Amino acid sequence: MKALLHLAIALLLMPTVSLAQATTNGATERTPLRESQESTAKVLRDFDSSVDEVAERVAPAVVQIMVSGLGSSRQKGEGVLERQKGIASGVIVDANGYIITNSHVVAGARRIRVLLTPIATELIPGKTSFSRPPRTYEATLIGTNKLTDLALLKIDEKGLPFLPLRESFRLRLGQTVLAIGSPEGLTHTLTMGIVSAPGRQPDLNQPMVYVQTDAAINPGNSGGALVDRDGNLAGINTFIYSRGGGSEGLGFAIPEPTVRFVYEELKQHGRVRRNVIGANAQTITPTLAAGLKLSQDWGVIISDVLPNGPAEKAGLFARDIVTAIDGVPIDSLPKFTARLYLHPHDRPVSLTVQRGAKQMQMSVVPVDVPTGVENLADVIDPQNSLVVQLGLFVLDMDKAPENTLPEMRSASGVIVVGKNESAPSLETDIDVGDVIQAVNGMTIKGVNELRAQLAHLKPGDAVVLRVERQGMYQFVPFEME
């Protein structure tokens, strides 16, 4: 397809000839220029056919997602959710009903429906036919990951068309790509462009790297597919840079290798586990290199190694320069972080280290990092977690994912994982990560007991919550609204 595109462009730039010039004595003759025109038309037809073939093969695996529930407040930030409805896109990645979309699409959703819509591939007046009847499914949220902005859904169906997640992935600058999604609810909208950058890092302080494309991506394309010229998944469309809100040729997609890694983690564990090696790394600057007399003034240096941690056991020292992880060159701190993030669990990490004039290889067995309360939003179940009277999303402490919570004094209670803008506004000092341990002096064991304690309270009644925050108990008084 790429070769056809280049040939088509070249032929289009050739000089043309009028029909009169190609005709002698009223009869059309086959001249070199006329043959060139016919050749150009054939190349364009072949190119169109190639695009048609890819689009028809890929489009059935791209679905529309309809969400109702709660989403991040545009005015008050991600920590506060408000009631919303939305339409976005998703990609079927397994014939048994597993669908990848964006985490921000389903954040706070109380109901998620997946629509498999008809696909019209050709317009013939009076004869246009659709590839399949419309079908709507209720979807189950398997898990989300805010860092990568990915979520996994499941519908109860088998034998679905899907785009496989392949380990043999390659994408090049300038390569032709197609974006398919539901911008503004217009299902199976197809746009074409090129790979503007195969590995763009918009935020140098974050490890996420994206595929940048000039294929038109608009609101509603989130969660849709970006595919290459062979119909392979290149990435999941996620966001755009835009001053006016529409496509300005700066679209970004989560690369397929990241999608594959997160999909496997969410499918198997319901969350994305993270690797740590017990060492702190930082960016090498020219000043740091000059002061420490390093052999290079760029890259990543180890500034600290935790006692008895995996890195120390493997022989890693402070002032070691990490030049590669698993054979992949490391030239920046985000790449260092990203390679550890995408490294398969339960396998040693292979480090290439420069120590003075000596290059060394070492194998570090990583451990699973605690998720941390800042990522508890990934485990919100809007249907079961919301306590309407308080406007909070909470979770039984014993249901929090392993390694999520720090050491707590409370043996029971509920942990706050989010806030809900649509619920009554209470004058309470409650933060994500707080543990509600008691209501009006009555100890609670879980979400059901919290709801039961609040159920009989009327507007104006005094309420005192006993809350554990950072290892200390405190009382939080307010009046019911």
User: How would you label 231-250 residue by residue, b for 16+ Cβ within 10 Å and e otherwise?
Assistant: bbbbbbbbbbeeeeeebeeb
Q: What is the pLDDT of residues 238-280, one digit of tens each?
A: 988 877 777 788 999 999 999 999 999 999 988 888 888 999 9
pLDDT at 375: 57
For the chain, list residues with pLDDT below 70: 1-30, 70-84, 120-132, 204-205, 369-383, 400-407, 420-428
pLDDT at 9: 44
Q: DSSP letters of 161-188? A: ------S-----TT-EEEEEE-GGG-TT
Q: What is the pLDDT of residues 141-172, one digit of tens each?
A: 998 888 899 999 999 999 999 999 988 888 89
Backbone angles phi and psi of 149, in degrees to 5:
60, 45
pLDDT at 244: 72
pLDDT at 8: 45
pTM: 0.70
Catalytic residues: 104, 149, 222
pLDDT at 214: 93
Q: DSSP letters of 267-287? A: HHHSS---EE-SEEEEE--HH
pLDDT at 468: 87
Consecutive H or E run containing 480: none
Backbone angles phi and psi of 7, in degrees to 5:
-65, -40
pLDDT at 44: 76
Per-residue HEC secondary structure of 430-446 comes to: CCCCCEEEEECCEECCC
